[in-house]
Amino acid sequence: MYIPSYYEFCCKVKTVAGHGTLERIPGLLEAMGARNPMIITDKGVSQAGLATIVINAIEDKISIGSVEDDVPPDSDLKVVNHIASIYKKKACDSIIAVGGGSVLDTAKGVNIVVSEDADDLMQFTGAGALKRELKPLIAVPTTAGTGSEVTLVAVIADHDNNRKMLFTSYFLLPDAAIIDPRMTLTLPVHIAAPTAMDAMTHAIEAYICLSKNPLSDAHALEAIEMISNNIMAVMEAPDDGDARLALGTAATLAGIAFSNSMVGMIHTLGHSVGSVCHVPHGTCMSILLPYGLEYNMHKVGDRIAELLFPLAGAKVYATTPRQERAQKCVQYTRDMNQKLYEATNGIHARNLKEITDRDQNPMVPQSKLPEIARTALGDGSIFYNPEALEYDDCLMVLTAAWQGEKLDQSKVRKG
Amino acid sequence: MEHFVEIKPGRKLLKRIFLSINLWFVGKAIQAAAKVDDEVKQEFDALPDGFTFSLGAFPNGPYMVVGKNEKGVVKYMGSKIDTVRLDMKMSLKSIECLFLLFTFQESTPVANSMDRLYVDGDIPHACSIVRIMDIVQVYLLPKFIAKLAIKRYPKWSLKRHTWNRLMVNLRAIAGF
């Protein structure tokens, strides 16, 4: 057990998880003194009927001030300011965010503007800009992966100036997260697979990276075990509500873990693949997970070895010699990707060159790898990776991940 | 600030003097490395002209300020953060945290991972500055100390280890 000489841990989000928990939203809002919530969601969630499920679950107990589903896939400054103006016009007093990361980021941005009675989110950039509690915000995640329902960050894009702004404050933590399997029950398995692996990556990086601490470790280990035990159950029976609930709970656990210990190079590279080639985040995480473990093996092999227990179970852990556990852990993550590939009829990509768009065009041409490597050097998660990461290192890992070959660990420069 | 009252620490005169001298010299060395070292030059080239950043201890220093002017020339700009427009502010949580860092009891990555280092500004720019400071530390410190300060000690050419190191140190002392 690693105990740092100093660490911080905070998660004050009330988590309400289980079957039928959407119906608890009116009571939660009432306890916070709110009576006229705005629902913020996106078109995809609306069209999938998920916003309707939420509305049907709460509308007989509370009046809904407004439903806004104009959130783009990449949260946008203008959209935030626009929705904030509607919030004020409709005299709303709280927010229910129904969706994934961009919906929640948008909701957090709107909450800043309306709580501070401002017109423009830009007034609140920078550390320490928020100094008081915001309006009540309830997060209802519709995927089991991002964990953004328990994170203190909002990323809002300013498309006019071609930049992304990061807002970080404990005041941005939602007041409650609702984990109801009805929200993920209709999620197709080819999306459920990478989102679950996204949560798995959050938990694994939380456990092996520099900011780990005993409290984040506890959340991470539980998340890994829950995902490992339930991911294939969801693949085999997508309408298994209990398995969906387990994945949703695990994603929240992983979110708590990584928001208190940060993530490392898997996210460094994954963010950059996503940014340069517009690949879904979970897909990048699934593919890069074994490579991140291999790259850091010489620095944190003991931590990686410990992960074999929650990943593969007591029997495999006990029958694997101590010195082989870390490598077995890496192999286990590769085997998971292979099983997911088979369960999704080949849609779940195992390497970067297998990723295709809807028209079956490759999304990550090999010629883009240098640009991805350069972009990675500007990602903040690079600070938290156990081993240093420079341009050549990024390119080496990306090349192996593109080809789908194991990383040659003898080529890793060791610090 | 009506909700939070910042408590200013005691003077800690000796630590303040020690850190002020260190920050002054590191600032001068960054200015020198930007002229001597190709990698540092490239990092600064990628930053916008007029970019200015500070490093110091929250809440009341000491600090160092380094900036790149409109012609792309990198300059140490002194120790006052009130008189310049900063694009990025890197602050250690307290003067004690800065002392841990500058006495190599704690590396930059460890300080960051223990929530002691705050960055107010664009993260990609912060990544560049951390890489620049890592290189400057390799120039200024003997290997056995530099290894405590950075994640991986670099494999440099003989010229970079000797001539460039000499030039960075001489320029930092001479201030040009």
Compute the nearest-CA separation of B43 from chain A (Å): 11
Instruction: With a cut of 60, say whether residue B148 has pLDDT above it.
Output: yes
Give the whole-number percent of chain A exceeding pLDDT 70: 99
Q: What is the pLDDT of residue A165?
A: 78
Taking the domains of chain A in order of start, what are their residue ranges? 14-183, 193-409
> In chain B, whose CA is at the least distance from the CA of A4?
B114
Compute the nearest-CA separation of B44 from chain A (Å): 13
What is the Cα–Cα distance from A202 to A76, expressed in whole angstroms?
25
Q: CATH classification of A14-183 is 3.40.640.10, yes or no?
A: no
Q: What is the pLDDT of residue B166?
A: 96
Q: What is the pLDDT of residue B10?
A: 67
Compute the nearest-CA separation of B123 from chain A (Å): 6
For B50, phi and psi rounded to 5 degrees? 90, 0
Report in angstroms the alpha-carbon separations of A216 from A4, A12, A44, A325, B165.
Answer: 12, 14, 32, 22, 42
If you average pLDDT over residues A228-241, what whole number do you get?
Answer: 97
Q: What is the pLDDT of residue A179?
A: 97
Mutate to test the interface with A, among B112, B125, B152 (most CBs of A within 10 A): B152
If you average pLDDT over residues A345-369, what whole number do you get?
Answer: 96
Tell me how crowded residue A344 is: count the other CB atoms within 10 A of its CB.
18
Give the whole-number percent of chain A exceeding pLDDT 90: 87
Instruction: Quickly state the pLDDT bin for A202 (edges 50, 70, 90).
Output: very high
For A164, phi and psi rounded to 5 degrees? -110, 130
Q: What is the pLDDT of residue A326?
A: 98
Whether A210 and B122 lie within 8 Å, measured CB to CB? no
> In chain B, whose CA is at the least distance from the CA of A412?
B152
What is the Cα–Cα distance from A42 to A62, expressed in whole angstroms?
22
If you average pLDDT over residues A278-283, what whole number do you get?
Answer: 92
Q: What is the tens place of the pLDDT at every residue in A138-181?
A: 999 999 999 999 998 888 888 787 667 778 889 999 999 999 99
Which residues in chain A have their CB less than 8 angstroms from residue B123's CB? 166, 378-380
Instruction: With a cut of 80, say whether residue A83 has pLDDT above it.
Output: yes
Question: Which residues are CB-neighbours of B145 under 8 A, at least 6 positions away?
Answer: B104
Pick the more confident residue, A207 or A159.
A207
Which residues in chain A have their CB less than 8 angstroms from residue B126's CB? 380
Q: What tokens does A323 get? A: 């010195």
Query: What distance, in Å, lies between the first and last C-alpha atoms of chain A?
Result: 23
Q: What is the pLDDT of residue A415?
A: 82
Q: In CATH, which superfamily holds the domain spanning A193-409?
A: Dehydroquinate synthase-like - alpha domain (1.20.1090.10)
What is the Cα–Cα distance from A379 to A270, expressed in whole angstroms?
10
Q: What is the pLDDT of residue A7?
A: 92
Q: What is the pLDDT of residue A60?
A: 93
Question: Which residues are CB-neighbours of B168 under 8 A, at least 6 positions away?
Answer: B29, B32, B33, B36, B37, B136, B139, B140
Whether B109 and A210 lie within 8 Å, measured CB to CB? yes
Instruction: With a cut of 60, say whether residue A283 has pLDDT above it.
Output: yes
In the 3-class helix/strand/coil scheme, how is A317-377 assigned residue by residue?
A: HHHCCHHHHHHHHHHHHHHHHHHHHHHCCCCCCCCHHHCECCCCCECCCHHHHHHHHHHHC
Instruction: With a cut of 60, say whether residue A27 has pLDDT above it.
Output: yes
Whether B152 and A132 lie within 8 Å, measured CB to CB? no
A–B interface: beta-carbon pairs under 8 A: 67
Q: What is the pLDDT of residue A2?
A: 86
The complex's ipTM?
Answer: 0.90
Q: Provide the mean pLDDT of chain A.
A: 94
* CATH architecture, domain defined by B13-170: 2-Layer Sandwich (3.30)
Q: Which among B1, B113, B127 has the least Cβ separation from residue A382?
A: B127
Whether B151 and A387 lie within 8 Å, measured CB to CB? yes
* In contact, A256 and A147? CB cutoff 8 Å: yes
Mutate to test the interface with B, among A6, A115, A261 (most CBs of B within 10 A): A6
DSSP of A251-285, one letter per residue? Answer: HHHHHHHHHTT---HHHHHHHHHHHHH---HHHHH
Q: What is the pLDDT of residue B1?
A: 47
Whether A388 and B124 lie within 8 Å, measured CB to CB? no
Whether A262 and B128 lie within 8 Å, measured CB to CB? no
Whether A383 and B110 lie within 8 Å, measured CB to CB? no
> In chain B, whose CA is at the least distance from the CA of A211?
B113
List the 85-144 stretch of B: residues with Cβ below 8 A of A: 109-110, 112-116, 118-128, 130-131
Q: What is the pLDDT of residue A124?
A: 85
Q: Does B156 touch chain A (CB under 8 A)?
A: no
Alpha helices in A154-213 (DSSP H): 189-208
Compute the nearest-CA separation of A261 from chain B (Å): 8
Instruction: With a cut of 70, say whether residue A112 has pLDDT above it.
Output: yes
Q: What is the tens place of the pLDDT at every residue in B73-87?
A: 999 999 999 989 999
Q: What is the pLDDT of residue A377?
A: 95
Which residues in chain B have their CB less than 8 angstroms from residue A388's CB? 150-152
Considering only CB atoms, which residues of chain A are within 8 Å of chain B? 4-8, 126-128, 131-132, 163, 166, 209-211, 262, 377-380, 382-384, 386-388, 413-415
* In contact, A403 and A353? CB cutoff 8 Å: yes
Report in angstroms the alpha-carbon separations of A308 from A139, A207, A234, A303.
Answer: 32, 12, 21, 9
Report in angstroms the alpha-carbon separations of B81 from A164, B51, B64, B87, B89.
Answer: 26, 14, 8, 11, 9
What is the Cα–Cα distance from A387 to A203, expressed in whole angstroms?
18
Which amino acid is residue A194, in one-letter code?
A: P
Q: What is the tens place of the pLDDT at every residue in B98-133?
A: 999 999 888 888 898 898 998 888 888 999 999 999
What is the Cα–Cα distance from A282 to A161, expressed in whole angstroms?
27
Q: Does B30 touch chain A (CB under 8 A)?
A: no
List the 62-81 stretch of B: residues with Cβ below 8 A of A: none
If you average pLDDT over residues A267-286, what whole number do you get?
Answer: 93
Whether B127 and A163 lie within 8 Å, measured CB to CB? no
Instruction: With a cut of 70, say whether residue A10 has pLDDT above it.
Output: yes
Q: What tokens does A253 get? A: 């656990």
Compute the nearest-CA separation of A183 from chain B (Å): 34
Taking the domains of chain B in order of start, what are their residue ranges? 13-170
Q: Does B150 touch chain A (CB under 8 A)?
A: yes
